Amino acid sequence: MQQHWKRLADGVELAVNQTEKFKTGLLTVTLTVPLREETASAFALVPEVLSRGSARYPDMEKLSAAADSLYGASLAPAVRQRGESQCVSFLCSAIDDRFALDGSAVLEPAAGLMGEILLNPCLEDGVFRRDYVEMEGANLADRIRGRMNDKRGWAMFRLLQEMCAGEAYAVDKLGSADRALAMTPEALWTAYRSLLSQARVTFIYGGGADPERVEDAVRRSFAPLLSGRSAPVDCLVKAEPDGPVRRVSDAMDVTQGKLALGFRTGGITMGSEDYPALLVCNALYGGSANSKLFVNVREKMSLCYYASSVLDKVKGLMAVSSGVEFSQFDRAQEAILDQLEAVKRGDFTRQELTAAGRNVSNSLRGRLDSQSQMEDNRLTFLLFHAAQGREELIRAVEAVTADQVVEAARRLKLDTVYRLTGKEG
């Protein structure tokens, strides 16, 4: 695999992973803007409305017929959050040319189709079509409200919302249902124009084509995006909680409770020197099947059906997610916190440490086998200028000592506890 990177203009870049390991090529374009309450709904709605139809393929049926003809090229809009940035993307995965049954090129027409969708929308009176805006606004509002259908995800979402209240991080990357419903074609058109002219632009390709061919396809299909721009990409990292631990709970008609705990990492993020130690610390504490939460709280004490921890490496957060019986909330919480105290005391074996380190390095290496994970990682690395390469990070992870893990654990401070409980009676 060969990695290439090129700046096409100020704030516009192209990254290429050339490899024939996969059957497909994945080309993505990402427009990154600050995540703000006032604009999040509009920016989240833009790709949905664009996906309804372009000038040349004015409805979904024609659009998807075009994609079907390219061997089922999958063209999907995506809205991602990276720290306090909102990343609006189109992802296009299409089979590599060598598997086309008729021997024709797939990359160029696929890039052309993406460009068509993003830059040549279907208009009515000089703005987006009203019916598309209204319907997609309603669908987006349904998606936002539908978050509560997945209780596990909902508990994590609510935890982070409460924990980071007042920080841009807590803004829902999809915006609010009310704003989505109230969107007018004119307001959305203005948002679209500002997204195109101001956002930072990142093109990422992984697949069999060489970088020159990709650059050529990008230049031809996305010409209007290749002008210079200077969109800030940043993230507020709070080292410590603001005050005493916050406790929040919601009641819903559920049979199983959810307990979620949020921690600040003492300012450790993906760029920090201590980041490898934090990765290992998380794997040891709750991020793997060999972790203390899994082995002790779930398996030995049977207090939780699931209990695991995850990091947000950009924002500097760790969150524990668990499912518990209502009657066990207090005991489970105590046990989850006890396990962290154990890590802070250095109460873990050499085997636990080795296993945790291997778990992290395996997962870092393993991402190389997934085109979409590679793309997702590359985006984060490009946006936050991570200097450390993957191999360097893997070596650092494997060299992490017990003392460094203890040090990283001690910097973790509990910020917020969230409980999703049942309704009375």
Partner 1 sequence: MDKLEYSALGQTVYHCVLPNGLRIYVDVRPEYSKQFAFFAARYGGMDLRFRGEDGEWLDTPAGVAHFLEHKTFDTEDGNALQSMAANGVDPNAFTSASMTGYFFDGVRCFEENLRTLLSFVSVPWFTAESVEKEQGIIAQEIRMCEDDPNDEAYYRLLEAMYTEHPIRTRVAGTVESISRITADTLYQCHRAFYRPGNMVLCAAGNIDPQRVADIAGEVLPAERSTAVDGVCCRQEPAQVGQRLTRRAMPVSMPLFALGFKGAPAEEGGALRQRLVAELTCDVLFSPSAPLYNRLYEQGLLNSSLGSFYSSVPGCAFIVAEGESRDPERVRDEVLREAARLGAEGVDQELWDRLKKSAYGSMVRHLNSMEDTCIEMAQTWFDGEDYLSFPQVFQSIERADGEALLREWFVESRTALSVISPEG
Residues that bind partner 1 (CB under 8 A): 1, 19-24, 59-61, 63-65, 67-74, 93-95, 98-99, 101, 131, 135, 138-139, 142, 145-146, 148-151, 252-256, 288-290, 295, 298-299, 302, 305, 323, 325, 351, 354-355, 357-362, 365-366, 368-371
| Whole-number Å distance between alpha carbons of 275 and 268 | 6
209/224 Cα distance (integer angstroms):
23
Shortest Cβ 273–partner 1 spacing (Å): 23
Smallest separation, CB 351 to partner 1 (Å): 6
Cα–Cα distance list, 361 to 37, 158, 311, 394 (Å):
37, 31, 15, 5
What is residue 80's three-state secondary structure? strand
Nearer to partner 1, 219 or 367 (CB): 367
The smaller minimum CB distance to partner 1, of residues 356 and 383, is found at 356
Q: How far is the CB of 162 from partner 1 (least distance, A)?
A: 20
User: Which CB, 295 or 310, lies closer to partner 1?
Assistant: 295
C-beta of 74 vs 190, nearer to partner 1: 74
Nearer to partner 1, 97 or 167 (CB): 97
Note whether 308 and 290 are within 8 A (CB): no
Residue 279: what are its φ and ψ, rounded to 5°? -60, -45
Asked if 382 and 411 touch (Cβ cutoff 8 Å), the reply is no
Residue 84 CB, shortest distance to partner 1, in Å, is: 27
Least separation, in Å, of the C-beta of 415 and partner 1?
26
Concatenating the DSSP letter of every residue in 190-251 gives: HHHHHHHHHSEEEEEEEESS-HHHHHHHHHHH-GGG-S-----------SS-SSSPEEEEEE
- Structure tokens, 146: 């539908």
DSSP letter for 423, please. Answer: P
The Cα 219–Cα 29 span in angstroms is 12
CA separation for the pair 322, 336 (Å, rounded): 9
Q: Would you say 194 or 363 has its CB closer to partner 1?
A: 363
Report in angstroms how near the CB of residue 338 gets to partner 1 at its nearest.
Answer: 19
Residue closer to partner 1, measured from CB, 279 or 414: 279
Q: Residue-wise over 292-330: b if at least 16 C-beta within 10 A, else e?
A: bbbebbbeebebbeebbbebbbbbbbbbbbbbbeeebbe
Least separation in angstroms between CB 330 and partner 1: 17
| Nearest CB to partner 1, comparing residues 41 and 322 | 322
Residue type, 335: A
Give the shortest CB-366-to-partner 1 separation in angstroms: 5
Rounded Cα gap, residues 230 and 32, in angstroms: 11
Closer residue to partner 1 (CB): 273 or 369: 369
- Work out how close the CB of 71 gets to partner 1 at its nearest, in angstroms, rounded to a whole number: 3
